[in-house]
Amino acid sequence: MKKAFTFIGLVSMTAFSYAQIVINEIYTGGGILGATLTNDFIELKNIGNSTATLTGATIQYGSATGAFTQYHTLPTITLPPGQTYLIQEGGDGGGLINLVNPNLVVNVVLNFDGSGPIVGAGLGIGLTSGKVALASNATQVTGPTASNVLDFVGYGTANQYEGAGAAPSPTILNSITRVSGDTNNNNVDFTIGLPTPQGGTLAVSDISANAVRPNFIKNTFVKNSEIVFGADVKDVKVYNMMGQVVKTASVRENGSLNVDELQKGSYIVTGTVNNEPVSQKILKD
């Protein structure tokens, strides 16, 4: 985990607040043949002694030897000491058990090369090797010492990592989990074991901020070619399942968006509510 200092040796208060929230566990075998869990997951945790908040942060992923290529945004997160935050990522279609009460289900992944987003699934994290970063913004991470890195985990044969070596390789049945604190050494701070995903209880402010997220669309089954919105939504984009934008708008609460020209099928609707990114899958009849 990167800790930021000024040239005169004073710790930035913002960085100190962020520095308490780290990547606590990574599972990469979700949905693979023989796996128990249906989805990959990343678990964050506040390992500090006071409440901490993330605002405008992202989770970024890069392959073992390549650059960071994909990311997704995080809502504003406030965690008391010891609290976890469970993020459901992608899956390969198999597995037996769904994650229980994840705090965030990712279904829109963005690409740094500017190509269309991947909709309907979270990050597809490399099974045995790769790099995961918790970043303070959406700027592409270049390595563990980049200025926007809040925490960085390279695992398996990753060519970048914190400290002297990478964390061990996860497996279909095992995750990598933080041992306790953070020494900024991935090979020391992480061990391999059975997955223990834990969805935390959000602070009141987070519950209020996120209450609209799953329900900003009132009718996810669209029968009459009108999507009805339950909140003021800016920068509405409707994506088909190939990641192409097929409709854009801004809509007021209880307003509607006509999608008569769209074919029947599934779509992902994204937008911004109260300066927070939102997304929801709809089915047009």
Residue pLDDT, tens place only, 181-207: 899 999 999 999 989 998 865 443 343
Would 157 be classed as within a structural domain? yes
Would 199 be classed as within a structural domain? no
Would 65 be classed as within a structural domain? yes
- State the average pLDDT over residues 7-34: 68
Residues 124 and 236 in one domain: no
- State the average pLDDT over residues 155-162: 98
Beta carbons within 8 Å of 8's beta carbon, 6+ residues apart: none
- State the average pLDDT over residues 89-104: 88
For residue 254, which of 232, 223, 225, 236 has the smallest C-alpha distance? Answer: 232
Amino acid making up residue 260: D
Q: Domain of residue 169: give its range.
A: 13-193
- Number of helices followed by number of strands (H, E) in the chain: 3, 21
Please, are residues 81 and 48 in contact by the beta-carbon 8 Å criterion?
yes
Residues 62 and 175 in one domain: yes
Q: What is the pLDDT of residues 224-253, one digit of tens each?
A: 899 999 888 888 888 776 667 789 998 988
Task: Look up residue 213 and give its DSSP letter.
Answer: G
Residues 226 and 178 in one domain: no
Looking at the 3D structure of the chain, how many domains does it have? 2
Would 2 be classed as within a structural domain? no
Sign of the torsion angle spanned by Cα atoms 100, 101, 102, 105: positive
Beta carbons within 8 Å of 206's beta carbon, 6+ residues apart: 75, 76, 77, 78
For residue 276, which of 107, 75, 139 has the smallest C-alpha distance? Answer: 75
Residues 170 and 216 in one domain: no
Report the predicted TM-score, pTM, of the whole model to 2 decimal places.
Answer: 0.70
